[in-house]
């Protein structure tokens, strides 16, 4: 079942990419007591993700903070080392990278997809959400091949 606004995020271990290396975080602790703009990409370094999705959130960091968002985070079914390298290459300081290396988070919220025919294995669908104290407030899931409703601008418009 796909997660919906009003639902509590499931408990899953994610790996936060930090300058000191990977740091395991439990989703309930990460999202507790604050507002997080979370967006997911099918994969680091993929064309739309690198050219439009991540840059949009980097460009709008101050706007999210001005609207009461405590943290902007990106998740992908990649390991923390790949996400850290992608963040560095993309100039994404200020965006927290949360690795979902085995796709557990994507599966737990019902937003995984099988990209095997493209040689990608199981990945996360492209989406963006606002999470307040572990509860999904907004959720915008893209149709396959689209990039509209999960953009930083679209998510900001709903705040």
CB 138 within 8 A of CB 64: no
- Model pLDDT, residue 13: 97
- Model pLDDT, residue 52: 84
Instruction: Classify domain 14-157 at the CATH topology level.
Output: Glutaredoxin (3.40.30)
* Contacts (Cβ under 8 Å, ≥6 apart) of 1: 110
- Indicate the domain borders of the chain: 14-157
Q: Exactly one of 37, 38, 41, 49 is catalytic; which is it?
A: 49
Q: For the segment 41-72, what is each residue's pLDDT rounded down to a tens digit?
A: 998 988 887 878 999 999 999 999 999 999 99
Phi, psi (deg, nearest 5) at residue 56: -60, -40
Alpha-carbon span 84 to 21, nearest angstrom: 9
Alpha-carbon span 69 to 73, nearest angstrom: 11
pLDDT interval class at 145 (50, 70, 90)? confident
In this model, does residue 28 exceed pLDDT 90? yes
Q: For the segment 90-129, what is each residue's pLDDT rounded down to a tens digit?
A: 999 899 999 999 999 999 999 999 888 887 888 999 999 9
Query: Does the annotation count 49 as an active-site position?
Result: yes
* Contacts (Cβ under 8 Å, ≥6 apart) of 20: none
Retrieve residue 96's tokens. Answer: 């927290």
Mean pLDDT of the chain: 94
CB 76 within 8 A of CB 83: yes
C-alpha Rg value of the chain to the nearest Å: 14
Average pLDDT value for residue range 64-81: 97
Give the three-class secondary structure for 80: helix
């Amino acid at each position: 079942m796909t997660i919906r606004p009003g639902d509590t995020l499931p408990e899953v271990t994610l790996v936060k990419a930090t300058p000191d290396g990977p740091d395991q975080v439990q989703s309930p602790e990460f999202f507790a007591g604050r507002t997080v703009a979370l967006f997911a990409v099918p994969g680091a370094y993929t064309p739309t993700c690198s050219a439009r999705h991540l840059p949009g959130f980097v460009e709008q960091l101050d706007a999210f903070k001005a609207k009461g968002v405590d943290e902007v985070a990106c998740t992908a079914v990649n390991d923390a080392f790949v996400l850290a390298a992608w963040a560095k290459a993309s100039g994404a300081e200020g965006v927290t990278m949360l690795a979902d290396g085995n796709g557990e988070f994507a599966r737990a919220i019902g937003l995984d997809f099988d990209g095997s025919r493209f040689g990608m294995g199981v990945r996360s669908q492209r989406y963006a959400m606002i999470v307040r104290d572990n509860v999904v407030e907004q959720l915008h899931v893209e149709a396959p091949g689209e990039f509209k409703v999960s953009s930083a601008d679209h998510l900001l418009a709903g705040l």
